[in-house]
Structures are given as C-alpha cells and as structure tokens.
C-alpha cells in the first residue's frame, strides 16, 4: 500500500519519517525548492534566525520527544531585564513585568534544524522538491496526482499535509462536495497573514542596557518585539511581528525605514545600523496564504476537521497539517499531532484491507 504525502512542512516530514521507520511505501512531494513549509530559518554569519515559528512550550510532548530523538537541543527564550512600551504618539516607557514569551523554548540552530534533520532521514528516492501538485484524480487504480509539468504519481491514498485553504485550491476529479470545499476555505491558516522582521546585530546592546528586548507598541509598525538571539555567542537579534495590515505593507523599502526608526525609538541609536534586516511577509507566499488569510486574526481559532472534511475519496484522501489538529492546532505540536492522526488512519485502513482480503 503506497501513500502519497503532498506537502513537505513539519507535518508531512513527520509523517514520512514515521512511515519510513515502519518500513511502509510512500513518496513525499513538496512544491517549494526547500522542505519546511512555514518553518524558515535563515543564516546570518554564525547565527540562525527564524522567519517563521520560533517557539514551543512545556506540555507539548510530541515535539519534545522528536527533538530528543533527533539529538537536537532546546534553550529558554531570553526574558531577563526591563520591558519596553510605546504609546500611540511614540512615547517610550520602561517598566518591569512578565515578558510575554517567558517560559517558552527555542531550538538551538533555529526551528529549521528540526525539519532539516527530518528531511535528512528520508531517502532521496522517497522525496521530491519543486513538485507542484495541481490535481488529484480518484479512480479504480487509486489516487493519481498530476503535477504542473504533467508528471503523474499514483498511490493507494494521499495525505494533504498543508493548510485546508491551500488544499481547497487544487482540482479534484471527481469534484469534492461544495460543503467540503466551503469548510476547507473557512479554516484560517495560522499566522499566514503575518509578516516578521528580524534585525541582526553584532552585540546585544539592549541587554547591556538592562532591557529584555521585549516591547509592545501601539504605534508600530512592529506591534510586538522579542529578543531573537541564539542560545550563546552572536550575532544577536531583535525580531518583531509587523502590525500593519497586509494590504498596506507592499512598499518594503518604506517598511524597512519605519522598522529601523521604531527600533531606534525603543532601544536607542545603536539599533539604527543592523548587520542585516530580514523581512518575511507570509501573506504574499502563495504556498502558505490565500486572499482570505490577509484578514487579521484577533484570536487563536478553534481548529478541527469537520465531518465534511473526512472520508474524502472513499477514505483515500486525508487532510493533515496543523490546522486539522483538535488539541494543538496552529502550533508546531499541532503539525505533529496531525501527522500522528494521519498515520493512525493509514494503519487503520491497511488493517481493514487485510481483514477484507
């Protein structure tokens, strides 16, 4: 029984890793020229900086176990020092309090080390990059995936390890029910409308000044800022979530100018000349975000698979990805939860087929 995994983010990679350990037949297809999906870590000098998710937390057993299995190491998010606040007029205040990400963990080398380690454990012949799936056909031979270059792959089942809104844009033959498509498009893609800025410096001058690097702003463009430095040594960094709506941040040069001006207001003149200023706008990444995702989210959605999103193509088509996880949906842990759920369905269907046979 062959499984086609479409999407090489954390969920797809974790599922492929589990199938590989079980000795099962599978093929992993990723549309990008890299694995990782929304996990993206960039090197600057000897430092690694996350442009996608950066944190995980105690009480998330799957990611803790996977990090241990892969021989990776975590460290505490830096939170020592005074917090910074900026009001609507740009007036800056200092105060003591609880840093919002205190108690969270980060991964040495960046979260990208996690997906890189998983991808390295998948044999070359079982993974493909630049493989853009455009259509899925369900027929007597199984599920046939059609790629943008006309190449096809047929398997007994397929797992869509991607946001439901992205999955909804594929062509399905026969067509999925309208209710199914509607439900898929109604699932917000977590953080898809976000943009992040990371300013990399040779020294952690904010720490030397007794500041934690944590800041909240009502002026912006950065609404929330944290220390993004590696576990030890440099270079060091501050990163912020850009609070400007997606439709108003198209001028990247102007955005960079305003980001640097804000960092100077918050942390002083030394913030004006970073070694590098990285900006990643996920809202304009077509493999992550749709037009619907550009509308801001004001609360964490309650994720789950609706009844209409299950049992697709006679049970041959499984929706996965963190937005399908009922307990930890949206988080890295949710991506692993979704992979675990998909694996259970694969094992269950194979066991049922054996009994029928």
What pLDDT is recorded for position 356?
45
93 and 48 assigned to the same domain = yes
- Whether 295 maps to a domain, the answer reads no
Q: Is the pLDDT of residue 153 over 50?
A: yes
Q: Is the pLDDT of residue 10 over 60?
A: yes
- Whether 243 maps to a domain, the answer reads yes
31 and 155 assigned to the same domain = yes
Query: Which tokens sit at 73?
Result: 């190491």
Kindly tell me the sign of the dihedral angle through the C-alpha atoms of 90, 95, 98, 104.
positive
Beta strands 82-86 and 92-95, pairing class:
antiparallel
- Whether 289 maps to a domain, the answer reads no
64 and 125 assigned to the same domain = no
Report pTM.
0.95
Residue with tokens 């918050």: 266
280 and 203 assigned to the same domain = yes
Rounded distance, CA 199 to CA 129, Å? 30
213 and 81 assigned to the same domain = yes
**Which of 64-68, 99-103, 182-186 comes out lowest in average pLDDT?**
99-103
Closest CA to 259 of 278, 285, 245: 278
Segment 287-293 shows an average pLDDT of: 95
96 and 171 assigned to the same domain = no
Rounded distance, CA 342 to CA 101, Å? 31
Segment 3-8 shows an average pLDDT of: 98
Query: Per-residue pLDDT tens for 203-252?
Result: 999 999 999 999 999 999 999 999 999 998 899 999 999 999 998 998 99
Alpha carbon 160 to chain centroid, angstroms: 15
Using the 3D structure, point to which of 231, 259, 284 is the last residue of a domain. 284
Q: Is the pLDDT of residue 260 over 70?
A: yes
CATH number of the domain where residue 69 is located: 3.90.660.10
More confident residue, 249 or 309: 309
The number of distinct structural domains making up the chain is 2
- Whether 293 maps to a domain, the answer reads no
Q: What is the Cα Rg of the chain in Å? A: 22
CATH number of the domain where residue 340 is located: 3.50.50.60
What pLDDT is recorded for position 57?
97
33 and 48 assigned to the same domain = no
Q: Is the pLDDT of residue 331 over 60?
A: yes
Rounded distance, CA 62 to CA 15, Å? 13
49 and 61 assigned to the same domain = yes
Closest CA to 112 of 39, 170, 180, 185: 39
106 and 127 assigned to the same domain = no
13 and 55 assigned to the same domain = no
Q: Is the pLDDT of residue 187 over 60?
A: yes
Burial class (CB in 10 A: 0-12, 13-18, 19+), 318: buried
pLDDT interval class at 354 (50, 70, 90): low
- Whether 290 maps to a domain, the answer reads no
- Whether 167 maps to a domain, the answer reads yes
Query: Per-residue pLDDT tens for 74-127?
Result: 999 999 999 999 999 999 999 977 788 999 999 999 999 999 999 999 999 999
Structural domain harbouring 58: 43-110+193-284
336 and 349 assigned to the same domain = yes
28 and 49 assigned to the same domain = no
Segment 19-25 shows an average pLDDT of: 97
Using the 3D structure, point to which of 241, 256, 284 is the last residue of a domain. 284
């Amino acid at each position: 029984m062959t499984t086609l995994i479409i999407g090489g983010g954390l969920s797809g990679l974790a599922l492929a890793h589990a199938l590989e350990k079980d000795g099962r037949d599978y093929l992993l297809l990723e549309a990008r020229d890299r694995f990782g999906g929304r996990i993206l870590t960039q090197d600057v000098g000897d430092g690694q900086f996350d442009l996608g998710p950066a944190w995980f937390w105690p009480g998330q057993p799957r990611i803790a176990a996977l990090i241990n299995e892969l021989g990776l190491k975590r460290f505490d998010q830096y939170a020592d020092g005074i917090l910074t606040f900026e009001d609507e007029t740009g007036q800056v205040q200092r105060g003591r309090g609880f840093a919002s990400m205190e108690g969270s963990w980060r991964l040495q080398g960046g979260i990208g080390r996690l997906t890189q380690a998983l991808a390295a454990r998948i044999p070359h012949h079982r993974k493909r990059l630049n493989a853009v799936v455009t259509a899925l056909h369900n027929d007597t031979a199984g599920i046939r995936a059609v790629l943008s270059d006309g190449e096809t792959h047929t398997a007994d089942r397929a797992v869509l390890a991607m946001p439901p809104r992205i999955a909804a844009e594929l062509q399905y033959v026969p067509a999925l029910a309208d209710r199914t498509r509607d439900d898929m498009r109604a699932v917000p893609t977590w953080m898809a409308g976000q943009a992040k800025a990371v300013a990399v410096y040779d020294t952690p001058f904010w720490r030397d000044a007794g500041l934690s690097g944590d800041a909240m702003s009502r002026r912006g463009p950065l609404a929330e800022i944290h220390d993004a430095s590696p576990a030890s040594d440099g270079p060091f960094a501050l990163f912020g979530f850009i609070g400007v709506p997606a439709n108003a941040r198209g001028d990247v040069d102007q955005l960079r100018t305003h980001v640097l001006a804000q960092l100077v207001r918050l942390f002083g003149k030394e913030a004006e000349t970073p070694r590098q200023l990285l900006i990643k706008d996920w809202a304009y990444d077509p493999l992550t975000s749709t037009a619907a995702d550009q509308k801001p989210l004001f609360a964490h959605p309650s994720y789950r698979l609706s009844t209409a999103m299950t049992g697709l193509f006679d049970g041959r088509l499984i929706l996965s990805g963190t937005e399908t996880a009922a307990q930890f949906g949206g988080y890295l842990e949710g991506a692993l939860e979704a992979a675990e759920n998909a694996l259970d369905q694969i094992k269950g269907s194979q066991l049922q087929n054996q009994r029928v046979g």
